[in-house]
Amino acid sequence: MNHFELFDLPAAFNIDAAVLQQRYRKLQQTLHPDRFANGTEREKLLAVQRTAQLNDAYQTLRSPLSRAEYLLALRGIELAHEQTTVQDPEFLMAQMEWRERIATIKDWSTLESAYKDLQEEMRDLQMVLEQQLNQNADQDAAMTVRKLKFMHKLHHELERIEDII
Amino acid sequence: MAYSDKVIDHYENPRNVGAFDKDDPNVATGMVGAPACGDVMRLQLKINDDGVIEDARFKTYGCGSAIASSSLVTEWVKGKTVEEAEQLKNTEIAEELALPPVKIHCSILAEDAIKAAIADYRNKKQAS
């Protein structure tokens, strides 16, 4: 059973987040340790294992980026982030500019405007990704997923700065 | 995770950091990025009319291993011909820097940066 089937959702990028959360909570309850208080050791162990699987499935589907990666994996697209390099010069130039901009952030107002711009770019990329996945343009979607990973990295950098500012 | 002494040396004293004018006809620029960690690397080679790499510069945003890999590459390619530089393998970089398996992609990034720069060199030559 794949993660989508577990939550009785269609294997698609667009899923109803509220429904996902609702079904997650319901499944969580059925596996709660209290229910197995009088069960056998084997039943208890199984419940723990299923809970771990359930949490993993929920986390994967909850975030759009990991949901897209999972969906592509189901469609047989191996993303192989460790072996792949991105060579799109325009995109990389923009990444360099982002890094330079982040290096100059010194106060809340510049941090805030960076967050705003970054989130906007991420939203745009996510919309592109949604279209590509809906049209089964899987190779294009894989490239967009890779780009989004760079954007997430930038987001982490901003969070790191937020902690020290 | 512990970095090797060579990685630390390159990280603390990176060689050839900076940039050349990318519009200079003798300058080739290679840009690559690693989705696994979001690292970005720019490698520039100054190549003379005999096809020998006279100088190199890099700018890398990433972890210590990515910075060390690109720093090492700028040292290695200097004095080499384009054809020789093209033969450089990521395994040689990883071995020299004693990179752990989880950091092998940093050396792949550096190898791909050389290839991207050389591709840019050939494009420029064809265009001129």
Rounded Cα–Cα distance for residues B18 and B59 (Å): 6
Instruction: State residue B128's pLDDT score.
Output: 78
Q: Quick check: A96 and B61 CB within 8 A?
A: yes
pLDDT on residue B73: 97
Evaluate whether B60 touches B101 at the Cβ level (below 8 Å).
no
Nearest C-alpha neighbor of A91 from the set B107, B22, B32, B19: B32
| Separation between Cα atoms, residue B103 and residue B123, nearest integer Å | 31
Q: What are B9-52's pLDDT values in tens digits?
A: 999 999 999 999 999 999 999 999 999 889 999 999 999 999 99
Minimal-distance CA residue of chain A relative to B61 = A99
Is 0.90 surpassed by the pTM of this model? Answer: no
Query: Could you tell me if residue A99 is inside a domain?
Result: yes
User: Which one has a higher pLDDT value, B3 or B45?
Assistant: B45
Task: Quote the number of domains for chain A.
Answer: 2
CA–CA separation, A70 vs B13, rounded Å?
41
**Which of B32, B106, B108, B114 is an active site residue?**
B106
Check residue A25 and give its pLDDT.
96
B63 is catalytic: no
**A122 Cβ under 8 Å from any chain B Cβ:** no
Answer whether residue A79 is part of any domain: no
CA–CA distance, A11 with A13 (Å, rounded to integer): 7
* Whether A95 and A156 share a structural domain: yes
- Chain B touched by A104 (CB under 8 Å): no
* Residue A99: both structure tokens together: 């890094």
Average pLDDT over residues A56-68: 96
In this model, does residue B2 exceed pLDDT 80? no
Name residues 135-164 of chain A within 8 A of B (Cβ): 145-147, 149-150, 152-154, 156
Other CB atoms within 10 A of residue A25 CB = 10
User: pLDDT of A108-134, one tens digit each?
Assistant: 999 999 999 999 999 999 999 999 999
Domain end (from A20, A46, A62):
A62
Task: Detail the DSSP E strand segments found in A55-110.
Answer: none
Domain assignment present for residue A83? The answer is no
For residues B79-92, b (16+ Cβ closer than 10 Å) or e, as one string?
A: ebebeebeebebee
Tell whether A97 lies on the interface with B, counting CB pairs under 8 A.
no
CA separation for the pair B79, B98 (Å, rounded):
24
Residues of A in contact with B61 (CB under 8 A): 95-96, 99
A17-30 and A41-62 helices, crossing angle to 10°:
170
Strand order in the sheet with B39-47: B27-34, B39-47, B53-61
A68 pLDDT exceeds 80? yes
Shared-domain flag, residues A52 and A112? no
Same domain for A98 and A48: no
Catalytic residue among B37, B40, B52, B104: B37
Q: What CATH number is given to the structural domain containing A99?
A: 1.20.1280.20
Give the closest residue to A83 by CA, choosing from A148, A150, A146.
Answer: A146
- CB-CB contact of B95 with B7 (8 Å): no
Q: Is the pLDDT of residue B110 over 70?
A: yes
Residue A78 lies in a domain: no
Contact A84 B35 (CB under 8 A): yes
Q: What is the mean pLDDT of residues B53-73?
A: 96
B61 touches chain A (CB under 8 A): yes
Collapse the DSSP code of B41 into the 3-class scheme (helix H, G, I; strand E, B; otherwise coil) and give the result.
strand
At residue B1, the pLDDT reads: 60
A85:B38 CB<8 A: no
pLDDT band at B65 (very low <50, low <70, confident <90, very high): very high
How far A63 CA sits from the closest chain B CA (Å)?
17
Q: Is B54 helix (H, G, I), strand (E, B) or coil?
A: strand
* Residue B122, pLDDT above cutoff 80: yes
Closest listed residue to residue A119, CA positions, set A164, A76, A152, A145 = A152
Q: Residues 2-41, chain A: which have Cβ within 8 Å of B?
A: none
Task: Examine residue A67 and state whether it is found in any structural domain, yes or no.
Answer: no
Share of chain B above pLDDT 70, in %: 99
A21-55 pLDDT, tens digit per residue, is 999 999 999 988 788 888 888 988 888 899 999 99
Question: Are A108 and A158 found together in one domain?
Answer: yes
- pLDDT for residue B81: 98
By residue range, what is the domain housing residue A136? 89-164
**Co-location of A103 and A157 in the same domain:** yes
Nearest neighbour of B36 by CB, restricted to A81, A91, A95: A81
Tell me the pLDDT of chain A averaged across its residues: 94
Is residue A93 located within the same domain as residue A41? no
ipTM: 0.85
Same domain for A159 and A98, yes or no, is yes
CB contact under 8 A, B40 and A91: no
